[in-house]
Amino acid sequence: MPEAMRKASGPIFFLIAMILATTALGLLSCSKSEKTSETKSPLIGFSLDSLVVERWRRDVDSFTKAAHDLGAEVVLRVANQNAETQIAQVRELLSQGIDVLVIIPNDAERLSEVCREAKRKGVQVLSYDRLVHRANVDLYISFDNEKVGSLQAQAVVEVVPQGNYVIINGATTDNNAFMINKGFHSVLDPFIESGKIQLMEEIWPSDWMSDEVRTQFEALVKPGQKIDAVLCGNDMLAETVISVLSENRMVGKTKVTGQDAELSACQRIAEGSQFATVYKPIDSLALKAAGFAVMMAKGEKIGYENKIEDGTYKVPYIALEPVLVTAKTLESTVIEDGFHSRDDVYRNVKH
């Protein structure tokens, strides 16, 4: 398994130099009808689905600071989990004359047309962490989401190679949820086919909110029903699962995993109620994305090695490495990187 990615540090210009020096199999052309002039500060529109999940605040803070350090201005809009609101906000950003649109879509399908509209207006589009479907964005940067799923599944099958499993996926509107699910199944399917693992249920909620998941998971938790493992689309969903298990005195008996390495999840890992999470070094993602966005605004070329299908087009794709976190690796991952402090992680336990 690749070693944990360390938090990006050092001068921002060094990061950009490293990006430019990266060997690439292809070159992403960032030509625009009108490139940002040498004297004009690049104007970046950052359209965000929501700030409900803890990590998105970190993304915004890190991205905005990095962009400012590079001389760019950032206009932020938060759609509060509403696709129509986000569409209207993107159009409002376009009316302000932004050079680049950075977008975390609420709905990968419904945001497609407005992203194509941006491109028709000569505005470069960077899909941040979540891919917009059929929009032919200029760049997609995220973590390797299939690996997010396979890391969780592999960690669990190593300690529970047989038994009853439940999969709780992310939102059906989020392309990442399907990629994570593919990662789950890449590991689990041989065990399922051999009969060693029984997949009790695979839940697909309509969004990332937990109420729907709670209702469906509660229906599975019955007296005498053993559930050996629950793989979750993120830590917020894992928290919901653990809450239901706690109410039924099953905490610690079921291996529960998630992703995002939220502080509450890391605390649960330290306490023993959550088995694992997947850490995605957000500062690294945000720094790189900010650097790329500024380069795109200036009409510079970006090196890339991979492309990904968006449903219609193959778009340039830069994937960063996620990192598994368990009780044994809390210290060497999220704490060592400064993502969370040791005191915060172990606040509820003696260490």
Could you tell me if residue 162 is inside a domain? yes
297 & 192 share domain: no
Can you tell me the distance from the alpha carbon of 204 to that of 162, in angstroms, rounded to the nearest whole number? 23
Q: Quick check: 274 pLDDT over 70?
A: yes
Question: Domains in the chain: how many in total?
Answer: 2
Q: With contact defined as beta carbons under 8 Å apart, do 134 and 310 qualify?
A: yes
Return the CATH number at 83: 3.40.50.2300
Share of the chain above pLDDT 70, in %: 89
Could you tell me if residue 7 is inside a domain? no
Q: What pLDDT, on a 0 to 100 scale, did the predictor assign at position 39?
A: 59
What global pTM score does this model have?
A: 0.85
Q: What pLDDT, on a 0 to 100 scale, did the predictor assign at position 22?
A: 41
16 & 110 share domain: yes
Could you tell me if residue 4 is inside a domain? no
Residue keyed to tokens 């992403």: 28
Concatenate the DSSP letters of all residues of 83-133 into one string. Answer: HHHHHHHHHHHHHTT-SEEEEE-SSTTTTHHHHHHHHHTT-EEEEESSPPT
Could you tell me if residue 350 is inside a domain? no
Which tens digits make up the pLDDT trace of 71-124?
999 999 999 999 999 999 999 999 999 999 999 999 999 999 999 999 999 999
Q: What pLDDT, on a 0 to 100 scale, did the predictor assign at position 301?
A: 92
